[in-house]
Chain A
Amino acid sequence: MTRDTRETFASTTAALLEEDLSVALVYAEISGQYFREAERRHPDRVVNVGIREQLLVNVGAGLALTGMRPVVHTFASFLVERAFEQVKLGFSHQDVGGVLVGSGASYDNTGGGRTHQAPGDVALIDTLPDWTVHVPGHADEVESALRLAVAGSGRDYVRVTGQQNRGPFPVTPGRFHLVRRGAGATVVAVGPMLDPVLEAVADLDVSVLYASTVRPFDGRTLRAVLGTPDVVLVEPYLAGTSARCVDDALVDVPHRLLALGVGRRELRRYGAPADHAATHGLDAAGIRQAVAGFLAA
């Protein structure tokens, strides 16, 4: 049975709190249902700040100032967007490390509407230098990414989403996985976009790279597998977020780029995540149509 990604985040964090006395968890009510036992066992290292997201992020940064390794969590919309200056100044400008874990992603909470959706989270984090950005596409990758991030000392953003691929890959920051090799274009599938991408390009002679850690962006592997100089990015957040990384990697190679992802237009529709994926052209059919058009052009 496939594990739930958010519960996996919570159980992994609880385990890390047991294993490593320097780990602290700061959260803001959200996901509190998963943390009761950890909070009871470690009241000094598990802090619920209430509905206070500016405080959430800076409390995490303050813990880091004393040498602790904070895991800071709420919905991505409140963690990265509402409290962005705290991310920028509390962590980057103070030059302290920490692990931010945002849930909800682009449209996990379709019924909740725009207030609970954060397709721009990775683009926002990407305005800051030296953040490692994990976009796990499977619950096992959530656990691996979180363990790697917490074991390190840098600044990590872990984007937890309910959308999952059928199987996990090892989490290897700085290195994308070659899932299929073809002679033509290269498709970079990020996180939960892998399964729809594989279905969409099943009969096309293209290479498929899988990225669950998207910053740093593995431009070296992209160059190495490049057949024809045609690149397709398929990202589960704002379209074009990694376009600059492709351009950097291929700065001396004339190339074409199709950047698929979540559109900028506000949908104002509810329904299920699959409905939103289809509307943004991120289901297999939508990806297939876009890629075919791009390759035929």
Chain B
Amino acid sequence: MNGISIFVQQLINGLSLGSIYALIALGYTMVYGIVKLINFAHGDVMMVGAYAGYFVLCAVGTTPFGMTLAFLAAMVMCGLLSLVIERLAYRPLRNAPRLNSLITAIAVELILQNVMRVLPFVGPDPRQFPTMPTKMLSIGIVSFSNIQLIVIVLSAVLMVVLNYIVNYTKTGKAMRAVSYDLGAASLMGISVNRIIAITFVIGSVLAGAGGVLYATAYPQIDPVMGYIPGLKAFVAAVLGGIGSIPGAMMGGVILGIAETMTKAYVSSQYADAISYMILIVILLVKPTGILGKKTHVKV
């Protein structure tokens, strides 16, 4: 294997990781775009998705049917979970100072992590996620595993579906309206509560899928597994432009590739720290992110 093929290999690894980051980043960016809240609990919703997939796969096995079921279970579970969270913890605080909502989001994150730790059938110890047998496929100088293929393709499919929903459906139009001006949207007859709930659900469904994909690629799961990918996904969302859906997709992929390249060519231990440094650099250079727009404050 020569240098080029290693490079391309790492690129594919990065694309695969980045797709997962993108899926999670989408949830952050959509929620921030619509209610200006950094949903700290989002990474842990992804963790719940991974566990949901885990239990299904343990019961049914890693057949294609089992995997499909696992994804569905994760997505449904996460969707319902976020409905509950939004209704109980976030909606009452919608008009409160932002600080309060942020603190509540942090509290929700900690509750999710620690509930999973104390639940008897879960527990704090890491578990091995059932994986399908790995098959390597080669095209020319490039080889990738079937798992990576699934990750990339499935993420792409989900993002296409999301894009369709946001840009070509009435609900998507309502979501965009609410993200521009909540007050005006509600005056136009849009049920703001419903739209916000839908936004949370869509984001969490994607995170659920992302959780199963992440566990498939990195098969060890534990209750705190969502924290670091969640943080990185947020960096990705900021990188792409927080509030921008294409931005989150782009940011996720860029971050995934950057992290993989750093691990391969620079330093494996500091790769995480470097990802976070990217955040600080972006804020210095272009705080609105790659695809973000500057908004004017009216005085």
Does chain A bind chain B? no
B interface residues with partner A (beta carbon < 8 Å): none
